[in-house]
Each structure stands twice: as structure tokens, then as C-alpha cells.
Structure 1
């Protein structure tokens, strides 16, 4: 029964896909909710209340990073490299929080504008009939499903960081004997100069702070990656609409009209129809370039942070897993964290490759639409050639200090992390 409820929710079984007032906001109600948490309000854009939660997250992350820097110094000074690398790994993860929030808050207006534009395109596509509406809504349903799949996975991993210490506390309270090590567990390793972080009330305070940081990181990074792939997949589907437009560009038009004099009323009407169809293709095509450029400016700093430090983070996570295996144990949390670390980089890289390839498919669709096989092609030949030439320019996410976000980038980062891992293992032996 519960599985059926989950399935119905993911398939939007209760949603009327044929409703006439369908738009982005009632199909994806989670989008504006998640953005509101990030400080992007749609009803009262200038409200100062939108800054409360981002400010709390940024301040907590800075406090956490300061503690981790102290722990890193402690680990290096004692030559406890396992402790130092684990703390450095958490320092890198916490650094994502202020990077994401500052980037979003600085570009709030751009995010608002791009979401409004996506809503206009959503409504327009759904008004074009089943040829466009059906594949477009199928793609939007996929975004809905991917959103909650990603949210569920990240919440599961983050939740374990809260559950494991609580389970440890319950075990110590109910089953631990006097001979057992009864150090109370925390999510992250702690150390304080001239004090014991595991005594009351230090322990309770650090447990609360670390649990809050886990929540902050989950909702920050989960929403950031979700909004990134939502926008990119939306414009991936817009390019599908362009390809459909090319496939029907000559439908319903009489070929012999192209041979009539230019002043003939029938030819002029056909020319007007073709120009309108070309205009729609050009507008959609330009909207894709503008959207990817906007995404690059909004999410460029977080993506630079991801690409720059993911290889180091994966290396440190793998080192911790290997160290635990050397001592005969399996670190479940770090094993899941390694999957999460790979996914968070693979998602934008995979989307970057998808967008790039789909943009080239738009040019191919223009070339194979049959313009050279019908006299009607003479009437829009120049327009189609311009579109084909424009489509040869790669649609990629670009930002200062950032390579093109593609699967090649992901492969390069993974290779670098493997090299760092081997160096670290050799140095620590």
C-alpha cells in the first residue's frame, strides 16, 4: 500500500495533465518553495525575512569550518593523518554552504527572471497541442521524479549522520557495560584545547550544532543541484520542441506556391506562415543560449568550487574508507558519502554533455528538415542556414576559471582524485 502511494506521488497520479490552466507553478510546486528557502521570494521580493535562514546557514558553516581548521592543525601536529584528512574533508563540504548561498543571493533577480521565463514557456508549449504538449509534460514529469529521487538519497545519507549518534547513545544507555568504551558519539570528530568536548554540557551543544549543520548542508546542496538540473532539463526539452518544429515546418503548405511571383497573395501568405514558424524556432533557440548563459553566471562560483575541490574530497573520502578497511571495519557513512560526492559532480557534467549534444541535434534537425527537397525551402533557405550555423556553437556552461562542464570534466576529476589517493596512501605509510 505504501509503495503504491509513493508510486502514485512520483507519477502524479492525482494531477490532471489536461487541465487548461496548467503552468510551471502548479506542476512543480516544490520549485518556489525550495527557492524561498534559499532567499528567493516570489511574492515579496524585497522582504528582509528572506535573508534570515541563509544568514543562519552561512554563520553556522563558518563556525563549523573554523572548528575544522583547528582540528586539521591538531591532526597534522600529532601526525594523526586519518583525523586530519577526515576534518579537511568536512571542511570542504561545509565550504559549499556559503558559496551556494552567496552566489544565489547576489543573483536573486536573475533567478526570479529565469523562473518567470520558464513559466511563460511552460504555458506556451502546453497550448500548442498534443504533438508538443505530450513529450514536454513527460519530460517535466521526469524532472519531478528526479527531484524527489535526489532529495530522498541526499536526505537518507544526511539523516544517517544524525541517526548513528542517536543509536549509539541509546545503545550506551541501555546495553553498554562498565568495561566498554562509553565515549558518547558525535557526527564529526571533536577536539578542544584544555577541555573535553564529550563532557556535559559540551557534548549536548556540539551534538545540536553538528545535527543542524547536517540539515543545513543537505537542504543547501540538495536544492542547489535540483534547481540546476531543473533549469537545464527544461531547456533541454525546449530544444526537443525546436526539433519537432523543424519536422513540421512545411506541413500543410502547398509546394507549388513557391513558384508563384513574389507579389502573389498566396505566396505572400505562405511566406508569412513560414516566417512565423522560423521566428518561433529562433526565439526558442536564443532562449536556450540566454538561459545557459544565465545559469553560468548564477551557479558559476558553486560549480567552480565543485570542480576545483571534488577530486580532493573524493580522494580524502576514499582514504578514510581505505584506512578503516586496513583496521578490519567498513565505514558505511563514508561509503555513502563517496557515492554522493561522485553524483554531485556527475549530474552537472552529464547535463552539460546532454545540453551540448542536443544543441548539435538542433542543427542536424534543421539540415534534415527537407528544405533542400521542396521548392518551399527556397523561401527560408537563408534563415535555416543561419540557424544551422548558429547551432554549431556549443551550448556549454562557462565561467571564469571553469572548464566546460561535460563528462570529460568528470572523468578528469576522477582521474585526479585517484592520483591524489595513491600519493596520500604512499605518504602515510
Structure 2
């Protein structure tokens, strides 16, 4: 029964796909909710309340990063490299919180504008009929499913960081004996100069702060990756609409009118129809370039941080797993964290490759639409050639200090991570 409920939810069985008022907001109600948490308000864009939660997250993450730097220094000074590398790993992970929030708060207007534009395109495509509406809504349904799959996975990993210390405390309270000499568990390792972080009230303060930090990280990183792939997949489906448009660009038109004089009324009417179809293709094509440019502007800084530090984070996570295996234990949390670290880098890189390849397919669709096989092609030949030439320009996410975000970047980062891992293992022996 529960599996059926989940299946119906993911397939939107209760949603009316034929409703006349369908738009982005009622198909994806989670989008504006998630963005509101990030400080992007739609009903009252200039409300100062939108800065409260981002400010709390940034301040707490900066405090956590400062403490992690102190812990790293302590670990190096006593040559406890396992402690130091674990702290540095958490420093890298927590560092994404202020990076994401600062980028979004500064570029709030751009995010608002692109969501409004996506809603307009959503409504327009759904008004074009089944040929366009069906594949477009199938793409939107995939976005819906990926959203909750990603949210479930990240929440599961983050939830374990909250649950494990609580379970440890329950065990110590109910079953541990006095002679076991147990230490109360925390999510992240702690150290304080001239004090014990595990005594009360230090322990309670750090436990609450670390639990709050876990929740903040889950909602920050989960929403950041989700909004990134939602925007990119939306425009991936828009490029599918362009390809469909090219496939029917001469549909329903009389070829013989191309041989009539330019001022003939029938030829002029056909020319007007062709121009309208080309105009829609060009408008959609330009919106794709504009959207990717906006994504580069808004999420460029987090992506630079993500690409630059992911190889280090993955290396340190693998090092921690290897160290625990050497001691005969398996660290479940770090294994899941390693999967999440690889996945969070793979998602934007895979999407970047998908967008790039689909953009080239648009040029191929223009070339193979049959413009050279019909006299009607003479009437829009120059326009199609311009679109084909424009489509040869790669659609990629670009930002200062950022390589093209594509699968080649993911492969390079993983190779670097493996090299760092081997060096660190050899140095620590």
C-alpha cells in the first residue's frame, strides 16, 4: 500500500495533466517553496525577512569552518592525520553553505526572472497541442521524480548524521555499564584547548550546533543541486521542442507557392507562416543560451567551489574509509558520504554534457529538416543557415576559473582525487 502511494506520488497520478490552467507553479509546487528558503520570494520580492535564514546559515557555517581550522591545526601538531583529514573534509563540505547563499542572495533578481520566464514557456508549450504538450510534460515529470529522488537520498545521508549520535546516546543511557568508559558521541570530531568538549554543557551545545548544521547543509545543498538541474532540464526539453518544430516546419504548406512572384498573396501568406515558425525557433534557441548564461552567472561561484574542492573532498573521504578498513571497521557514514560526493559532482557535469549534445542536435535538426529538398526551403534558407551556424557554438556553463562543466571535467576530478589519495596514503605510512 505504501509503495503504491509513493508510486502514485512520483507519477502524479492525482494531477490532471489536461487541466487548462496548468503552469510551472502548480506542476512543480516545490520549486517556489525551496527557493523561498533560499531567500527568493515571489509574492514580496523586497521583503527583508528573506535575509534572516540565509544570514543564520552563513554565520553558523563560518563559525563551524573556523572551529574546523582549529581542529585541523591540532591534528597536524599531534600528527593525528586521520583526525586532521576528517576535519578538513568537513571544512570543505561546510564551506559550500556560505558559497551557495552568498551567490544566491546577490543574484536573487536573476533567479526570479528565469523562473518567471520558465513559467511563461511552460504555459505556452502546453497550449500548442498534444504533439508538443505530451513530450514536454514527460520531461517535466522526470524533473519532478528526480527532485524527490535527490531529496530523499540527501535527506537519508544527512539524517544518519543526526540519528547515529542519538542512537549512541540511547545505548549509553540504557545499556552501557560504568566500566565501559564510553564517550558521548558527536557527528563531527571535536577538540578544545584546556577544556573537554564532551563534558556538560559543552557537549549539549556542540551536539545541538552540529545537528542544526546537518539540517542546514541538507536543505542548502539539496536545493542548490535541485534548482540547477531543474533549470537545465527545463531548457533541455525546450530544445526538444525546437527539434519538433524543425520536423514540421514545412507541414501543411503548398510547395508550388515558392514559384509564384514575390508579391503574390498566396506566397506572402506562406512566407508569413514560415517566418512565424522560424521566429519561434529562434526565440526558443536564444532563451536556451540566455538561461545557460544566467545559470553560469548565478551558480558560477558555487560550481567553481564544487569543481575545485570535490577532488579533495572525495580523496579525504576515501582516505577515511581506507583508514577505518585498516582498523577492521566499516564507516557506513563515510561510505554514503563518498557516494554523495561523487554524485553531487557527476550531476552538473552530466547535465552539462547533455545540454551541449542536445544543442548540437538542434543544428542537426535544422540541417535535416528537408529545406534543401523542397522549393519552400528557398524562402527561409538564409534563416536556417544562420540557426545552424549559431547551433555550432557549444552551450556550456562558463565562469571565471571554471572549466566547461561536462563529463570530461568529472573524469578529470576523479583522476585527481585518486592521485591525491595515493599520495596521502603513502605519506601517512
**TM-score range normalised by the length of the shorter chain:** over 0.9
1:201 equivalenced with 2:201 (yes/no): yes
Query: What residue number does 1:42 align with?
Result: 42
Is 1:376 aligned to residue 376 of structure 2?
yes
Shift, 1:180, TM fit: 1.4
Task: Kindly tell me the number of residue pairs found equivalent between the two proteins.
Answer: 429
Which string of whole-angstrom CA distances, capped at 9 and with x for unpartnered residues, describes residues 76-114 of structure 1? 000000000000000001100000000000000000000
Q: Distance in 2 between matches of 1:70 and 1:422?
A: 26
Provide the residue aligned with 2:420 in structure 1: 420
Q: Could you tell me which residue of structure 2 aligns to residue 118 of structure 1? A: 118
Which runs of at least 4 in structure 1 moved beyond 2 Å after TM superposition?
none
Distance across 2 between alignment mates of 1:44 and 1:67: 37
> What root-mean-square deviation, in Å, do the aligned CA atoms of Structure 1 and Structure 2 show?
0.4
| Counterpart in the other structure of 1:15 | 15
**Structure 1 residues 191-200 or 172-181, which shifts more?**
172-181
Q: What is the deviation of 1:15?
A: 0.4
Instruction: Please name the residue that 2:337 is paired with.
Output: 337
Deviations 1:367-393 (A, max 9, x none): 000001101001000000000000000
What is the Cα deviation at residue 178 of structure 1?
Answer: 1.9
Q: CA deviation at 1:177?
A: 1.5
TM-score normalised to structure 1 length:
1.00
Q: Which residue of 2 aligns with 1:276?
A: 276
Any residues of structure 2 matched to 1:135-154 within 5 Å, and which? 135-154=135-154
Matched, 1:358 2:358: yes
Secondary structure at 1:39 match in 2:
coil
What residue number does 2:244 align with? 244
User: What does residue 189 of structure 1 align with?
Assistant: 189
In structure 1, the partner of 2:400 is: 400
| Aligned residue in 2 for 1:409 | 409
Q: Does 1:391 align with 2:391?
A: yes
Paired position in structure 2 for 1:169 = 169
1:127 aligns with 2:127: yes
Distance 2:248 2:181 in 1: 73
| Superposed CA offset, 1:268-289 (max 9, x none) | 0000000000000000000000
- For structure 1, which runs of at least 5 residues remain unmatched after alignment? none
- Structure 2: gaps spanning 5 or more residues: none
Q: Distance in 1 between matches of 2:394 and 2:333?
A: 39
Q: Distance in 1 between matches of 2:329 and 2:268?
A: 78
Q: Map of 1:239-318 to 2, 5 A cutoff?
A: 239-318=239-318
Distance across 2 between alignment mates of 1:333 and 1:234: 33
Task: Please list the CA deviations of residues 242-266 of structure 1 after superposition, one character each: whole Å capped at 9, or x if unmatched.
Answer: 0000000000001111111111100
Give me the TM-score of the superposition, normalised by structure 2: 1.00
Determine the C-alpha separation between the residues in 2 that align with 1:151 and 1:180: 38
Shift of residue 181 of structure 1? 3.1
Q: CA deviation at 1:179?
A: 2.2
Deviation at 1:62, TM superposition (A): 0.5
Cα distance in 1 between the residues matched to 2:373 and 2:217: 56
SS at match of 1:190: coil
Alpha-carbon displacement from aligned partner over 1:152-190 (angstroms, at most 9, x marks no partner): 000000000000000001111111122213200000000
Q: String of CA shifts for 1:211-260, please: whole Å, max 9, x gaps.
A: 00000000000000000000000000000000000000000001111111
Distance 1:180 1:18 in 2: 64
SS at match of 1:179: helix
